[in-house]
Structure 1
Amino acid sequence: MYQQVLDPVGGSLALSAAVAAIPLLLLFVLLGAVKMTAWVASLISLAVSIVIAVAVYGMPVGQTLLAGTEGAAFGFFPILWIVINAIWVYQMTVETGHFDVLRRSFSSVSDDQRIQAVIIAFSFGALLEALAGFGTPVAVTSVMLMALGFRPLKAAVLALVANTAPVAFGAMATPIITLGRVTELPADTLGAMVGRQTPILALFVPLVLVLIVDGRRGVRDTWPAALICGVVFAVAQYATSNFLSVPLADVVASLLSAAAVVALVRVWQPRRSPETHPAVVAGGAADEPTPEFAARAGRVAHEEPDARADVVRAYAPYGIIIAVFVVCQIPAVKHLLDGATFAFTWPGLNVVDADGDPSSLTKFTLNLLTTPGTQMLVAGVLTMVALRLSVPRALKAYGATLHQLRWAIVTVMAVLALAFVMNLSGQTITLGTWMAGAGGAFALLSPILGWLGVAVTGSDTSANSLFGALQVTAANQAGLSEVLMAASNSSGGVLGKMISPQNLAIAAAAVGLNGKEGDIFRRVVLWSLGFLALMCILSGLQASVLSWMVP
């Protein structure tokens, strides 16, 4: 048995926190400054975290390695299991040519890349986040953008930045339901509070997307579309989470925001500039087009319209995904599927927290049928039938998917192993406890704790499991609202999603930029920090002058 200790360095929480932060800081330095390949950087940081766990925290070597194996297993199931099957669906549409049909269909709505980025990366990505989460929207929307002519790097950056405001309500509000479980606060109340924070982000994200695509000119030319998308999404997310249903917040918001933009471009078109026309530039103002991209974009402009049946088949995979996930959310069906869920303590792993209570992190849940990954697999089989794809070709597409994601698989499993070593040894809790000692100023720091948790684990659900109870304890000590601090953990966490090595690896693999995760990281880190600063200010204001916003 191993009992966690929070201040192993000279009995000082501050010094212990400084040491505990080393693996995470090293990981980001290796990615951003050294430009090291993500899987190598992750393995090095994992090794450092193991050394600190054993040498500084006194965790037995066997327990440390077992913690790493549990994390690696969690990285594969459920996270990679979802991503692999989501990319498989995409590969089948490529194999049959229906992905090109889908691209042309989106182009028919608007051939302006700034509008396409808003509809696909933000609204459609939010729908995928609502249904599946766990990296699915980044994987799917990045390749969709690339098929529309965006350069791979630009497509990955747009997908990651867009995957922010919807994350707290992702996978049918799994992060918030988990937060309610660990804090013993009503999930509906927590969802209502998050619904008074993340919509503020939603107002700005579409504007940021057009800024990334085409700079200030893009904002000047397309602000009506970006603004209406953000406003409709924000209002819908707030209203649904507060008055209708927390799990449906992203579903309603994504559909209404997409419909609003499509309706707008029917009667209004942004001012055109040669640099944003797909026949000239593939990736936006910041990238010069290669001849290959320009030639492909030129072909797009002269392609013949597709038959209606082909268009229906092109959209069929996504309609099937939505249908499968909705059916699996029906209480009777969900209860039936729960029969294949098995929860057990990870063999040989015996860890208690600083108070002597067994750690909940040692429990591994194998939800074979309720996991979005298996539901995505079912959707993939139905897609195979809908696209009339033979079994050998479908298996070939699955093999291509595994080959495409091979380094992402190593990265994600290494990062989750790192997260579990840090969590179970006490390194992450040391960081959180040190921050919680800030007193009333903790209202400003609370979102940073969630951001840190998601940066480490890649999951808002995991960050809420890790820090939710700590947020409530810190709120009680500082005389702050429990609901506000717990919700700020989830809302701040969504902004760590875009810099999480796990999601960087997924984005890089999806667009064929394996080994370039550091380049993507440098493009998104300032947006992550900027949005985080906004969330910290909002949390501080809601703890004081805007306290009327707290339910």
Structure 2
Amino acid sequence: MHHQILAPVFNSLALSALVAAVPLILLLVLLGIVRMRAHWAALISLAVGFVIAIPVYLLPPVPAFSGALEGAAFGLFPIVWIIVNAIWLNRLITKSGHLDTVRRTFLLLSRDYRVQGLVVAFCFGSLLESMAGFGAPIAVVAAILLALGFSPIRAATVALFADAAGTAFGSVGNPIFALSKATGLPTEGLGEMVGRQSAIVAFFVPFALLLVLDGKRGLKQLWPVALATGLGFSIGQFVASNFIAFQLADLIGALLAGAAAAVLLRLWSPTEVLSPPTDGTEAKPVEETAPEDRRHWLPSFAPYAVLIVLLALVSLKNPVGDWVQSITTQFKWPGAGAIGVSGKPLTLPLFSINWIGATGTILLITGLITLAIQRIKVAEAIREYGRGIVQVYSAALTVMFVMALAYLINYSGQAVTIGTLLAHTGVAFAFLSPILGWLGVAATGSDTSANALFGAVQVAAAKQTHLSPYLTAAANSEAGALGKLISPQNLAVAAAAVGLAGQEGQLVRRTFLWSLIFLAGFCLIVFLMAYGPLSFLVVH
């Protein structure tokens, strides 16, 4: 059994952390600067990870390769399983012609592409995120934006923001449960603290989306819509997490945000209504469209309604959900394992497969129901499934290589070294603590995984610096939502959904700066909660 070493490089924590971060830094450089295809960039970073894990961190070859294989298997199921079935569902809706009806229906809400992008990504995307996860909302949102006339690169970029507001609570609170397990803190207190932090961050996301969609002009013309949706979402998150149930925070927030936008758009309209620009062209005024025949709404939106209902059934507390969760296979992954620096064995070797309740399986069932609703032939559906697999092939490789790297750095102890270095920064830790969650999700693509990875480190550091453990633990979860914007896993999902598999570098160049800006702002918020005027919001 491998015993993790905290500072293997000349017994220096700083040098060890620098070396430990090399694979992650290399991955971002190869994607964003070198512009290498994502699966090759991930494979090279994984190879470098082995070079550091085995000779530097003394991780034996067997657990090193077995642990990486476990990560790749986790990438295959549930993540690639979700991507394949989400793409298939999107292809079915497109093939049936009903996606065009969805497009025309959104035109009734507003013919302005900036409003459509905000509502679809922020409101509808967060609604899906509240019950699904692992990139499923990104794939669905990107397909709808494509149908609305967005260029592939713009649709993928905007769709990535679908995770930026709701990931801290994830699928019915799963990240919070993982955080509670890692830290020993009650879920209710953690949920309250995350809700108070997330409500502040989520308020600004619609404004950022307008800047992404149309720059200063979009913000100047449409700030009332951003204000309405931001306030609606923030109020819903805060009230639900602190007074109802944190598992419903994103669901209630998304519904209030959508309702606020709908009410506002009935009373107010922008001075200029624009159609989505294609790459290299300016947005143009929208031409008048014929009223939508509402008889076609039901079969067109039925797949999304079915998806939401099924996700709610398997996610929320009810007899069906309990039965589905019970059909889970769990086993210890052979050859993998490590003793952490705390002296306790890691929980990573336990591998779980939720056969029916997995989001990918729910997407598959939704697709099968869609065949009947939209009268699609079985033979055509099978052909579309095969085409979908071809479409996501390189994205699947990217996800598997990235998850292999994430598990490798977790088993070797590289992740703990980075976290411990930040924990030794004293008073500055209040400002730096969100960086751990951001890095964790950037590497693993999962807020749940990042909370399990760094939650205990956050609490230990908080006690050393006399901070509320709820503050830093919750900061880890909320900062993870911001790391979703640059997670190679999410980038691969977005690129695959719009037919740009292998071009993830284009996306990371568009989202990296926004991720850093939000992270810096959130670091300041956490610092003000620790030592400034926002301290009244801290749970103790």
> Shorter-chain TM-score: what band?
over 0.9
Partner of 1:218: 218
- Separation in structure 1 between the aligned mates of residue 116 and residue 472 of structure 2, nearest angstrom: 36
| 8 Å CA contact retained: 2:433, 2:476 | yes
| 8 Å CA contact retained: 2:395, 2:502 | no
1:324 maps to 2:310:
yes
Partner residue of 1:547 out of 516, 535, 538: 535
Q: Secondary structure at the match of 2:169?
A: helix
Partner residue of 1:288 out of 275, 281, 284: 281
| 8 Å CA contact retained: 2:337, 2:349 | yes
| 8 Å CA contact retained: 1:162, 1:209 | no
Matches within 5 A, 1:133-212: 133-212=133-212
Partner residue of 2:446 out of 459, 469, 474: 459
| 8 Å CA contact retained: 1:57, 1:425 | yes
In structure 1, stretches of 5+ residues that fail to align are none
Matches within 5 A, 1:24-423: 24-272=24-272, 276-278=274-276, 281-282=277-278, 287-288=280-281, 301=287, 305-328=291-314, 329-423=316-410
Residues 303, 227 of structure 1: alpha-carbon distance in 2 compared, 3 angstrom cutoff: closer
1:386: how far off? Answer: 1.4
1:282: how far off? Answer: 3.8
- Separation in structure 1 between the aligned mates of residue 82 and residue 11 of structure 2, nearest angstrom: 42
Matches within 5 A, 1:6-25: 6-25=6-25
Q: Secondary structure at the match of 2:57?
A: coil
- Separation in structure 2 between the aligned mates of residue 387 and residue 330 of structure 1, nearest angstrom: 31
- Separation in structure 1 between the aligned mates of residue 138 and residue 322 of structure 2, nearest angstrom: 29
Q: Over residues 19-50 of structure 1, what are the superposed CA-to-partner deviations in whole Å (9 max), with x where a residue is unaligned?
A: 10100010011011101111110000000001
- Separation in structure 2 between the aligned mates of residue 242 and residue 87 of structure 1, nearest angstrom: 36
- Separation in structure 2 between the aligned mates of residue 92 and residue 67 of structure 1, nearest angstrom: 36
- Separation in structure 2 between the aligned mates of residue 363 and residue 440 of structure 1, nearest angstrom: 36
Q: Secondary structure at the match of 2:489?
A: helix
1:390: how far off? Answer: 2.1
1:532 maps to 2:538:
no
- Separation in structure 2 between the aligned mates of residue 399 and residue 210 of structure 1, nearest angstrom: 36
Task: Decide which moves more: 399-408 or 415-424.
Answer: 399-408
Task: Decide which moves more: 486-495 or 156-165.
Answer: 156-165
| 8 Å CA contact retained: 1:126, 1:254 | yes
- Separation in structure 2 between the aligned mates of residue 487 and residue 66 of structure 1, nearest angstrom: 32
| 8 Å CA contact retained: 2:337, 2:411 | no
Task: Provide the identity percentage.
Answer: 48
- Separation in structure 2 between the aligned mates of residue 520 and residue 149 of structure 1, nearest angstrom: 18
Partner of 1:477: 464
Letter in 2 for 1:539: V
1:338: how far off? Answer: 2.4
Partner of 2:419: 432
Q: Over residues 502-537 of structure 1, what are the superposed CA-to-partner deviations in whole Å (9 max), with x where a residue is unaligned?
A: 111111111111222111101111100000001101
- Separation in structure 2 between the aligned mates of residue 349 and residue 136 of structure 1, nearest angstrom: 29
Residues 450, 538 of structure 1: alpha-carbon distance in 2 compared, 3 angstrom cutoff: same
Q: Secondary structure at the match of 2:6?
A: coil
- Separation in structure 1 between the aligned mates of residue 169 and residue 343 of structure 2, nearest angstrom: 33
Q: Secondary structure at the match of 1:10?
A: coil
Task: Decide which moves more: 201-210 or 351-360.
Answer: 351-360
Q: Over residues 113-166 of structure 1, what are the superposed CA-to-partner deviations in whole Å (9 max), with x where a residue is unaligned?
A: 111111101000101111101101111111211211111111111111342111
Partner residue of 2:497 out of 500, 503, 510: 510
Q: Over residues 159-190 of structure 1, what are the superposed CA-to-partner deviations in whole Å (9 max), with x where a residue is unaligned?
A: 11342111111211111111111111111111
Partner of 2:476: 489
Q: Secondary structure at the match of 1:364?
A: strand
Letter in 1 for 2:172: M
- Separation in structure 2 between the aligned mates of residue 339 and residue 361 of structure 1, nearest angstrom: 20
- Separation in structure 1 between the aligned mates of residue 170 and residue 114 of structure 2, nearest angstrom: 25
1:471: how far off? Answer: 0.7
| 8 Å CA contact retained: 1:499, 1:521 | yes
In structure 2, stretches of 5+ residues that fail to align are none
Q: Over residues 351-408 of structure 1, what are the superposed CA-to-partner deviations in whole Å (9 max), with x where a residue is unaligned?
A: 2112332111111111212222222222222222211222212212211211111111
| 8 Å CA contact retained: 1:130, 1:170 | yes
Q: Over residues 211-265 of structure 1, what are the superposed CA-to-partner deviations in whole Å (9 max), with x where a residue is unaligned?
A: 1111111111111111111011111111111101111111111111111111111
Q: Secondary structure at the match of 2:54?
A: helix
- Separation in structure 2 between the aligned mates of residue 234 and residue 58 of structure 1, nearest angstrom: 46
1:70: how far off? Answer: 0.3
Letter in 1 for 2:113: Q
| 8 Å CA contact retained: 2:67, 2:335 | no
Q: Secondary structure at the match of 1:196?
A: helix
| 8 Å CA contact retained: 2:337, 2:348 | no
Q: Over residues 78-117 of structure 1, what are the superposed CA-to-partner deviations in whole Å (9 max), with x where a residue is unaligned?
A: 1222222222211110110011110111112111011111
TM, length-normalised to structure 2: 0.97
- Separation in structure 1 between the aligned mates of residue 365 and residue 371 of structure 2, nearest angstrom: 10
| 8 Å CA contact retained: 1:161, 1:527 | no
Q: Secondary structure at the match of 1:365?
A: strand
| 8 Å CA contact retained: 1:440, 1:480 | no
Task: Decide which moves more: 227-236 or 146-155.
Answer: 146-155
1:303: how far off? Answer: 6.1
Q: Over residues 305-342 of structure 1, what are the superposed CA-to-partner deviations in whole Å (9 max), with x where a residue is unaligned?
A: 55433221111001101111122224311221123212
TM, length-normalised to structure 1: 0.95
Task: Decide which moves more: 183-192 or 41-50.
Answer: 183-192
Q: Secondary structure at the match of 2:329?
A: strand
- Separation in structure 2 between the aligned mates of residue 483 and residue 399 of structure 1, nearest angstrom: 47
1:7: how far off? Answer: 0.8
- Separation in structure 1 between the aligned mates of residue 422 and residue 248 of structure 2, nearest angstrom: 33
Q: 4+ residue stretches of structure 1 with deviation over 4 A?
A: 301-306
| 8 Å CA contact retained: 2:37, 2:505 | yes
The CA RMSD measured in Å over matched residues stands at 1.6
| 8 Å CA contact retained: 2:122, 2:165 | no
| 8 Å CA contact retained: 1:175, 1:490 | yes
